[in-house]
Amino acid sequence: RAPQLHPTRAPPRCSTMRYSNYLRYSVAANIALVATFLVVAWTTSAGSSGLSARLSAFRRPVSMRAPAAAGALQRRTSVFAGPVVPETKTYDFSWMEDELSSPGMGMSNKDRPLLDLRVRPRRNRRTDGMRDMVRENILTPANFIYPLFIHDEKENEKIVSMPGCERHSLDSMLNEVGEARAEGVRSVILFPKVEDDKKTNFGEEAYNPEGIVPRAIRMIKAKYPDMIVITDVALDPYSSMGHDGIVENGVILNDETVQQLCRQAVTQAEAGADIVAPSDMMDGRIGAIRDALDVEGYTNVSIIAYTAKYASAYYGPFRDALDSHPGFGNKKTYQMDPANTREALLEAELDAQEGADMMMVKPGLPYLDIIRLLKEASDVPIAAYHVSGEYAMLKAAAERGWLNEKDVALETLLSFRRAGASVILTYYAKQAARWLNGKE
């Protein structure tokens, strides 16, 4: 005989066979009970016709049910359409007095629940004016460096993996600089797409006085002399090997590469660059470039060192833009291991000793801890590079309606400031400046 079923009673002590029978009967009984409950509830709420309609809905092909899913997505994205006006109404909370759940809760003289709190952080968040008054970090267009891709062509070329970005002709570049300047962005950095027939292992085109970058610098300075022009110092755009340095027998040479970088930096300074930014990650290059600039009389040209540039997977769209993917292997022998933290402190100490005026962390968002670390360890300003992969992810999500682009982009850029960055290199620079200026 099967044992008596009871929801709170332990199974009787019995043989293995009797216990297995007990389990079988228990499961069957519970399934029957749940099924009966569902059928009764369903038919009671909707009647037999409602039940038939619901059952038929389950039998529909997936394609017929798809619009419902689309509607759900539309409902999720529609929250961005506009604000909901809250109802103006005062509620009576006196009924709660007899139902207070916490020993720390009482009732105020206004018959409303009252916690025994003197410190309430929400008081400082109560209004827009209050939040503005106590805001710890502020984002302005002057914090941005605007990266511009340039090429020696008459027409612009869209960069598919970076929506909104283009390889600019030099005339278009000049217009873009003017538009960014009008929004309060005062700094640009130039990245060239170099023709393949000008690329060599030694990257000689990098210090051609009539190369695309020196010509671009002179054009910007002629029309906008107050604009801060920053240049990238590295061989990869000019390298037939796609690496940041000279390659010999599969090895990226350090000291020989630094010699080429010094010549590149001096050529850019001669053209009028305000800041040079060595992104190559060769050892000793900051001190060597500082000395090379000084001896040629460019003591006022600043250096932003790519101090903590990690061997990241976030650089793909940028390499598409410059057609500078490594010709072989990867860049892990000179860029930093993403697993390392203390190594960034070593790089920062060396760059500071060698004369860096600012230090950059790249990428930005996945390395906010490194930004904070260098901010606390160094006296020079810290820059964050909001790299192409980070930018592309936000663009892709916004295009699909999954994120509010404006809000998420500005929150992301503010996070760099909060982490300790004084300067933010971002492809959103012009658009974010427009948003900050109250434009769409």
Enzyme catalytic residues: 309, 362
Nearest Cα residue to 405 out of 205, 164, 128: 164
Radius of gyration over every alpha carbon of the chain, rounded to an integer in angstroms: 32
Residue with tokens 């009539």: 210
Cβ atoms of 391 and 162 within 8 Å: the answer is yes
Q: Please count the other Cβ atoms lying within 10 Å of the Cβ belonging to residue 414.
A: 17
Nearest Cα residue to 425 out of 207, 227, 185: 185
Nearest Cα residue to 380 out of 420, 426, 341, 419: 420
Rounded CA gap, 301 and 276, in Å? 7
Residue ranges of E strands in 91-214 = 105-107, 113-115, 144-151, 157-158, 166-168, 187-193
Cβ atoms of 187 and 220 within 8 Å: the answer is no
DSSP code for 201: S
Rounded CA gap, 300 and 275, in Å? 9
Angle at 213 between CA 210 and CA 217, to 5 degrees: 100
Cβ atoms of 430 and 156 within 8 Å: the answer is no
